Amino acid sequence: MVCKEKSKGGLGVRDVRIVNLSLLTKWRWRLLLPGRALWKDVLVAKYGRHILTNVDWSGVRIPTMASKWWRDICSLDKLVESKNWLVESMVRRLGNGNSTYFWTSIWTGDVSISARFPRLFSLSNQKESMINELCEYDGERWNWTFSWRRALFLWEEELVVRLRDLLATVNLLMEDDGWKWVPDPEGVFSVKSTYLHLVDELRSGEVLEDGKAMIFDHIWDSPAPSKVIAFSWQLLHDRIPTRSNLAVRGILVADVPWECVGCVGSVESSIHLFLHCPSALKVWYDIFRWLGLVIVIPPSLFLLFEVLRASARNVKIRKGFLLIWHATIWSLWKARNGSIFANESFAPNDIVEEIKVTSWKWSLARLKVPPCMYYEWTWDPGDCLLR
Ligand SMILES: [Zn+2]
């Protein structure tokens, strides 16, 4: 994999920058910790109360009178391309539930309950309630009480059942709610863990940048059908209608289609559906095994494309590998749509077979060679073509 040149001995300019960013991050962490302090009061008066309660400041406008120091602190949200790394790094640690918003804080799973159940959130009379205001312990278990603006329809009642299922394992404790610093195994903030985490995050970002232009040059150079390549291209730009993309654009209204079809409880984003989902991982690993490749799955689809390209011994094999990359993306998407719209199962083994058949067809039609030319072991097309 591509690696940036590192300065030998001592810290390079880039390292110093990352140390500074880690030190700035410490202020964000300290603002979230409980306890009053004069410096906090001064900042709250200047910039607003959200700085004591919110991790995500990405939507907040920075006042024109803000100092350079404050601007730098605000810009931490946008440090890593394509995601807010702070939101992923600072998560709520649930204690007695008395300072965590039930609907809008992220405290179970990786999204807020309002994002997972937008319809119920819109109907709730308790939008501002803390967790402990909604539940009570009866000596045996925690009972949740919800209040709605109007009587619920049957399908909305079903959402409540799903919500209650999600809450079934919640257990409030004696101690206060707090924050957990994800990059540290103990959950406690340190500049060192921040530095190491940022080095990782920023390095993969840079490789992505370097690689992107080249990948977009190569992506059309494939015998896959053009509608398939166009889809892959949109996927790499994160412009396909996954559930999270629809939600961001406000198109998704029903609550039900939030979860990924390949696993339980994850939001369907592009990177999840095509790479991080356990089902997608199984598909990729099966495909690699089929191709005789030993590959550790990289953190992005860009890098996966690049790793496959680099694994090929010659031009013909490279074309074959990339054809299979496209076929894998395409088959995952088809299976996902089949699962959502036609109630079909989303089974990794079936998807792998589909990929084999599809790439075999494309290869014969467009490369005029049977795919076994570039596979590393003997292939028996009868396996697939008879299905
Ligand atoms: Zn999944």
**Measured distance CA(53)–CA(124) in Å, rounded:** 22
Of the candidates 348, 355, 356, 346, the one whose C-alpha atom is nearest the C-alpha of residue 383 is 356
pLDDT at residue 315 in the model: 81
Query: Is residue 145 scored above 60 in pLDDT?
Result: yes
Q: Which domain does 358 fall in, by range?
A: 220-385
% of the chain exceeding 90 in pLDDT: 29
The least confident of 143-157, 217-231, 315-329 is 217-231
Is residue 108 located within the same domain as residue 241?
no
- Report the separation in Å between the CA atom of 288 and the middle of ligand 1, taken as the mean of its atom positions: 20
**Measured distance CA(82)–CA(109) in Å, rounded:** 20
Tell me, yes or no, whether 209 lies in a domain. no
- Report the separation in Å between the CA atom of 280 and the middle of ligand 1, taken as the mean of its atom positions: 7
Contacts of 369 (CB under 8 A, 6+ apart): 316, 363
Tell me, yes or no, whether 192 lies in a domain. no
Contact yes or no for 197/119 (Cβ under 8 A):
no
pLDDT digits (tens, 9 = 90+) for 284-336: 999 998 888 887 888 888 888 888 888 888 888 888 888 899 999 999 999 99
DSSP output for 26-65: HHHHHHHSSS--HHHHHHHHHH-THHHH-S--TTSPPPTT
Count up the domains in the chain and report the number: 3
What is the pLDDT averaged over residues 217-232?
Answer: 79
Is residue 260 located within the same domain as residue 345?
yes
Query: Is residue 113 scored above 50 in pLDDT?
Result: yes
pLDDT at residue 384 in the model: 35
- Report the separation in Å between the CA atom of 267 and the middle of ligand 1, taken as the mean of its atom positions: 7
Place of tokens 């809008």: 104
Query: Is residue 350 scored above 90 in pLDDT?
Result: yes
pLDDT band at 363 (very low <50, low <70, confident <90, very high): confident
pLDDT at residue 64 in the model: 86
- Report the separation in Å between the CA atom of 333 and the middle of ligand 1, taken as the mean of its atom positions: 12
- Report the separation in Å between the CA atom of 98 and the middle of ligand 1, taken as the mean of its atom positions: 32
Query: Is residue 341 scored above 90 in pLDDT?
Result: no
What is the pLDDT averaged over residues 269-277?
Answer: 90
More confident residue, 82 or 116: 116
| Sign, CA torsion 24/29/35/36 | positive
- Report the separation in Å between the CA atom of 175 and the middle of ligand 1, taken as the mean of its atom positions: 33
Domain stops at, among 36, 66, 85: 85
As given in the structure block, the two tokens for residue 279 are 């089902």
Amino acid at 96: N
- Report the separation in Å between the CA atom of 371 and the middle of ligand 1, taken as the mean of its atom positions: 30
Place of tokens 């004069």: 38
Q: Which residues surround ligand 1, an ion (CB under 5 A)?
A: 260, 262-263, 266, 277
Of the candidates 344, 145, 146, 300, the one whose C-alpha atom is nearest the C-alpha of residue 211 is 300
pLDDT at residue 6 in the model: 42
Is residue 75 located within the same domain as residue 121?
no
- Report the separation in Å between the CA atom of 169 and the middle of ligand 1, taken as the mean of its atom positions: 21
pLDDT at residue 266 in the model: 82
- Report the separation in Å between the CA atom of 281 and the middle of ligand 1, taken as the mean of its atom positions: 10
pLDDT at residue 387 in the model: 28
Is residue 54 located within the same domain as residue 117?
no
Tell me, yes or no, whether 187 lies in a domain. no
Contact yes or no for 26/191 (Cβ under 8 A):
yes
Query: Is residue 280 scored above 50 in pLDDT?
Result: yes
Is residue 295 located within the same domain as residue 329?
yes
Tell me, yes or no, whether 256 lies in a domain. yes
Query: Is residue 366 scored above 60 in pLDDT?
Result: yes
- Report the separation in Å between the CA atom of 73 and the middle of ligand 1, taken as the mean of its atom positions: 34
- Report the separation in Å between the CA atom of 327 and the middle of ligand 1, taken as the mean of its atom positions: 19
Query: Is residue 256 scored above 80 in pLDDT?
Result: no
DSSP output for 202-226: HHHHHHHHHHHHHHHHHHTSSSS-H
Task: Compute the mean pLDDT over every residue in the chain, rounded to the nearest whole number.
Answer: 82
Is residue 17 located within the same domain as residue 154?
no
- Report the separation in Å between the CA atom of 321 and the middle of ligand 1, taken as the mean of its atom positions: 24
**Measured distance CA(67)–CA(310) in Å, rounded:** 47
% of the chain exceeding 70 in pLDDT: 83
